[in-house]
Structure formats: C-alpha cells, structure tokens
C-alpha cells in the first residue's frame, strides 16, 4: 500500500509586489510523480535548489500543492481537514537538531510530542522509553541535550518523532550539520527503525554514500525527477549523476574509472568490500 503518492505534483513560489502583482514565479517542484510504499526506505538525492525541501514541506502539509495531487497515507494533503492526520502520519526531522530540541532534559524533550497529542501520561513514558531505546539513547534519558554531540541530538530529535508513532518519517538533510561519525550514527539508526519498527523512511540528502542501502533512490534536478531505481541501478550511471551535479561515492567512481580504462569490473559498485571482491574475482579468472 502507498504511504506517499504524488501525481504531477507542482509547487510554485510566487512573489508579489505591494499591489499584489506577480513579480516572479519559481517553479520549485515541476511535475513530480512518485509512489512510496509502506515500509520502504527511499532516498531523495539532489543538488541544492533541486526542490527537495519544497517536496518535504508539501508532504508535511506546510506548503499546499500548486497543481497535481499528493496523498499521504491515503489522505489528500490539499484538504485542510486532513492536516493534523497528515502531520501525524508523516513526522518531519530537519537539518538543525538545535532548532528541534526544546526541553532541558532528553526524556522531557521526547515526551513533548505525545504530550501535545494528548496521549495519557502512563503511555507517554512507555513511548519515551521505547523511542529512546529504538535510537540507542536510553542511557542519556536524564541528560541535558546541550551536552550531546550533533549525532546524538539528532537521534533524540528522531526519538521525539518516533514517540508520536508516525507511519513514516521524512528527514530533510538530517546529517548536513553533523561530522562523519554523527552522520553514520543517524543513518544506522534510520535503517534500524525501518527494519525493526517497520517505519517508512524518506531520507532527503545530498550525500551519496548515505543512500547506498536504501530500497530506492530518486534523483531530482530543477524540480523534476531525473533518475530513479535501486542504488545499484542509479549509481551505475556515473556520467548522468555528474550532469546533475552529484558526486558519486569514491569507490564507485574509482571502479567506474578503471572500467573505462578497460578493467572488466561490474557497474554500480557501492562499497569497498564489493570492490575488493570484484578485484579478487578478476585475479582468480586470470589465474
């Protein structure tokens, strides 16, 4: 069943002068059609300005579609009556964890969302405990969020969303402000939530190496979907990715360069392990 379904989705930022005349129109999302199935881990990749955040805001009913249709868990986001249900189905995590953490103690911060939803107090604490466990932050429950690393703060923000029991989490460049180890922590956490808690994940990023374990990768440029497929399919098309101003993972690029130079390697190598295996197989063949 579809968790997110977009049909010819369009969004235009329209700027008007004081008299209300249109000064400029930016078509940030330009005819996007996509299906995200329940339980999937989907990544949206794209250079700056390709329309990723605008789509995320549409999914969260912050921006209303200019044209086309968008359904979240079967609900039309353009229908004002659905806004709260849509927001509860699809929880959002943003770039900067500091803007998302409000309480001075981790567990209170995670409790904030379910409290606002009117969840009974006993249930709130069960949810807080489960959510902190799911992101591996239980031992920090009585700490101050200020003292946590960026990756830990982002995991607390994710726990806060999980505590509201969404069916889907949409993350808009959640690792952009983190160091490499923080980035890995967050991506690992997302995969665990997807596998164990069966939460649908829509990860928006411009880091290619974060999407190699996704079920599906969607590449956007200039408001449009320009490529999509499994990570292997998408990363086999190195030249096209470069045209869309995306860097491929180093090992993928190295394998691709070697292949161009005549080394018979398979397309779409995504990890160092895969690369070394392929090289070993070559060596065996040549004996």
Q: Is 50 in the site for Mg ion (CB under 5 A)?
A: no
Q: Is 54 in the site for Mg ion (CB under 5 A)?
A: no
Q: Which of 28, 111, 158, 241 binds ligand ADP (CB under 6 A)?
A: 28
Nearest one of 79, 34, 91, 29 to 55, comparing CA atoms = 29
Nearer to ligand ADP, 195 or 240 (CB): 240
**Binding segment for ligand ADP among 41-49, 125-133, 158-166, 227-235 (CB under 6 A)?**
41-49
Q: Is 53 in the site for Mg ion (CB under 5 A)?
A: yes
**Binding segment for ligand ADP among 42-50, 137-145, 241-249, 250-258 (CB under 6 A)?**
42-50
Residue tagged 């010819």 (tokens):
8
Q: Is 53 in the site for ligand ADP (CB under 6 A)?
A: yes
Nearer to ligand ADP, 54 or 200 (CB): 54
Residue tagged 């190295």 (tokens):
254
Q: How many residues bind ligand ADP (CB under 6 A)?
A: 11
User: Between 180-196 and 150-162, two packed helices, what is the crossing angle to 10 degrees?
Assistant: 20
Nearest one of 209, 183, 184, 167 to 43, comparing CA atoms = 209
Q: How far is the CB of 59 from ligand ADP (least distance, A)?
A: 12
CA pair distance 81, 75, nearest whole angstrom = 10
Nearer to ligand ADP, 174 or 268 (CB): 174
Q: Is 216 in the site for ligand ADP (CB under 6 A)?
A: no
Q: How far is the CB of 274 from ligand ADP (least distance, A)?
A: 29
Q: Kindly list the residues in this chain that would bind Mg ion in the complex (CB under 5 A).
A: 52-53
Q: Kindly list the residues in this chain that would bind ligand ADP in the complex (CB under 6 A).
A: 13, 26, 28, 46, 48-54
């Amino acid at each position: 069943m579809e968790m997110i379904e977009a049909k010819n989705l369009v969004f235009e930022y329209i700027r008007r002068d004081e008299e209300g005349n249109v000064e400029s129109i930016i078509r940030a999302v330009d005819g996007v059609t996509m299906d995200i199935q329940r339980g999937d881990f989907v990544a949206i990749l794209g250079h700056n300005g390709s329309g990723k955040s605008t789509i995320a805001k549409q999914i969260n009913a912050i921006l209303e579609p200019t044209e086309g249709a968008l359904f979240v868990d079967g609900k039309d986001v353009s229908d004002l009556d659905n806004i709260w249900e849509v927001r509860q189905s699809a929880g959002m995590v943003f770039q900067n964890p500091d803007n998302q953490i409000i309480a001075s103690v981790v567990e209170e911060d995670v409790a904030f969302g379910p409290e606002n939803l009117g969840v009974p107090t006993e249930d709130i604490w069960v949810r807080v405990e489960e959510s902190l466990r799911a992101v591996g932050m239980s031992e920090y429950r009585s700490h101050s969020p200020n003292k946590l690393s960026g990756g830990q703060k982002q995991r607390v923000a994710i726990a806060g969303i999980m505590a509201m029991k969404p069916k889907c989490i949409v993350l808009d460049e959640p690792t952009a402000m983190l160091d490499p180890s923080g980035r890995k922590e967050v991506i690992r956490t997302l995969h665990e939530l997807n596998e164990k808690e069966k939460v649908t994940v829509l990860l928006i990023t411009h880091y290619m190496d974060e999407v190699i374990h996704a079920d599906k990768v969607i590449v956007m440029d200039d408001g449009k979907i320009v490529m999509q497929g499994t990570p292997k399919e998408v990363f086999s098309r190195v030249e096209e990715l470069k045209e869309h101003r995306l860097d491929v993972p180093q090992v993928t690029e190295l394998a691709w360069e070697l292949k161009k130079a005549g080394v018979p390697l398979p397309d779409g190598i995504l990890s160092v392990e895969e690369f070394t295996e392929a090289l070993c197989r070559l060596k065996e063949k040549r004996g």
